Amino acid sequence: MTRKYNFCAGPAALPTPVLERAREELLDYEGRGLSVMEMSHRSPEFVTIAENAEANFRALLQVPDNYRVLFLQGGASTQFAMLPYNLLGNGGTPNYLYTGIWGKKAIAEARHLGGAHVAASSEANGLTAVPRPEDIQLSDDAAYLHYTDNETIGGLAFDYIPRSDVPLCCDMSSSILSRPLDVSRFGVIYAGAQKNIGPAGLTLVIVRDDLLDRAKPETPTMFNYRVMAENGSMYNTPPTYAWYLAGLVFDWLKNDVGGVEAIEVINARKAARLYDAIDASGFYSSPIAPINRSRMNVPFVLADESLNTVFLEEAEAAGLLNLKGHRSVGGMRASLYNAVSEAAVEALVGFMSDFEKRHG
């Protein structure tokens, strides 16, 4: 079997050592004679798996003791609704920064519950640069401020953490664990797993203790952060195998790679290699302002869009998969999450250079 280079935005590449270990343990986990997929979430074995995963995740991001880590279902899209349900019990207006499609969807969900204030927007610049700190204007009754740290589709990333006197909430689905993070500056952080955490089906939420009792009275039980926190994320049967695989990823990142400090250096190097190749070319270009270019999702366009199909066909034949840009923006997109190797980036850059020579 030949592993190819996967640049998918999600479900994304997983570390090869993680997949190999999961394969070894698939039928018989530690001599128990059954798979983790068949194991009761209440069993001592799975409770240990869950506790170790949370401990490693906390260690990687140095999560303070006054924060809960929840392992939930539903993806970040469910958090678009869960967040306002859990933080609007004391009234006020949710405030949002609009920088792309996922931020727009989060705003739409908040408006289902009564309204939202857009405190700053990137719409005027075509979603190519994030608002500057001085452009952010909160409403007088702001309940919280939400932003999307990295817009997966547009490849637009914040170069700073917004300052806020109200709880700061962030969708970090595409950037979590890619660099060190001061969790203490946030009220809530959430992330779908299928980028840097593990397989699709799991969502992690980091929530500060003092925010657990702000839920609206009508909040559904399964949406309530307090309920999930008090039940160890097991009010119902959780996505056990995804939780187990996430634990293997955390172990790999912590012990094999050297933690988020080490992976940040690697990620910076990967992104710089690809952006440098794009910028040095007269054939490829990036639409994003350099200061806000994402390290995780690199969109680029060809000078001749009629060659898009040929580019993708030849890339796939060369073992470079999932480079097609999102249907809403077109072009190409290479996602360079933690599990994407530097060898993969070198292979992509080499292919792009050769393609330009032949078609440019």
Whether the bond between 238 and the residue before it is cis, its omega within 30 degrees of 0, is no
| Residue type for position 286 | S
Q: Which of 4, 28, 102, 216 is labelled catalytic?
A: 102
CA–CA separation, 101 and 35 (whole Å):
38
Angle of helix 44-61 versus helix 240-251 axis, rounded to 10: 40
CA–CA separation, 122 and 136 (whole Å):
11
Any residues with CB less than 8 A from the CB of 191 and at least 6 apart, and which? 76, 171, 172, 173, 176, 197, 203, 204
Is 102 noted as a catalytic residue in this protein?
yes
Is 243 noted as a catalytic residue in this protein?
no
- H helical segments located in the chain: 16-25, 44-61, 75-87, 101-112, 225-230, 240-251, 260-279, 308-317, 342-359
| Residue type for position 170 | C
Is 252 noted as a catalytic residue in this protein?
no
Q: Backbone phi, then psi, for 128, in 5-degree steps? A: -110, -5
Beta-bridge partners for 299: 333
Q: Which of 4, 28, 165, 195 is labelled catalytic?
A: 195
CA–CA separation, 284 and 304 (whole Å):
9
Q: Which of 141, 165, 171, 270 is labelled catalytic?
A: 171
**Catalytic residue ranges:** 102, 171, 195
